[in-house]
Structure 1
């Protein structure tokens, strides 16, 4: 199957195992370990809205702030998100999370995770 992000309906077949990823570098705002990110952009609209793609991240812990609403479907790995208000969200394959814009806290990746996301 051909993967194309240039089609009238951008798509990637087998997104859960797709391996032609781009190196996105070390995760910023590291608190522990050195998480490294890679991924593949599927679509980015005008003014970068919406943006959708695949994100893979290796173990580590860092601070994060979600700039806009972000829908995440975790398809591999394990991680724990902790909001600044104390909420704990444990993710594993099959977990879906809708982070509202402005959500702040930290993420600890326990086992390399893969996330199919849409940032709006």
Structure 2
């Protein structure tokens, strides 16, 4: 859980279950992925934004609005860009999605992602 600090933080980010219901993933293609998470920090104009995102299995369309750094710490998923690029992620994978990246995400096993959107 985040505590007041000049350096916002969450202890045990890879296992904490103190998450907020963020609802069903929009633009579903298959299944009903449910998202939960915890915001660590959101700066002026929502930049940067960082936190934890957990998502259950399913598949949906996505468009990444600005550069997003993701460190996947649990689960498995496959991202497919509209240009045919395939990025398979599992625990330990780090991805830097550029702003404007579009495609689909298929979560195979509930994933946990520590992210920063800049």
**TM-score for both structures, normalised by structure 2:** 0.98
Q: Secondary structure at the match of 2:45?
A: helix
Q: Deviations over 1:48-105 (max 9, x none)?
A: 0000000000000000000000000000000000000000000000000000000000
Q: Deviations over 1:31-62 (max 9, x none)?
A: 00000000000000000000000000000000
- Misfit runs of 4+, over 3 Å: none
The residue aligned with 1:38 is: 36
The residue aligned with 1:108 is: 106
State which of 43, 49, 52 in structure 1 corresponds to 2:50. 52
Aligned residues: 118
Alignment RMSD:
0.7
**TM-score for both structures, normalised by structure 1:** 0.97
Residue segments in structure 1 that go unaligned for 5+ positions in a row: none
Residue segments in structure 2 that go unaligned for 5+ positions in a row: none
Distance 1:45 1:92, change over 3 A: same
- Pairing 1:89–2:91 present: no
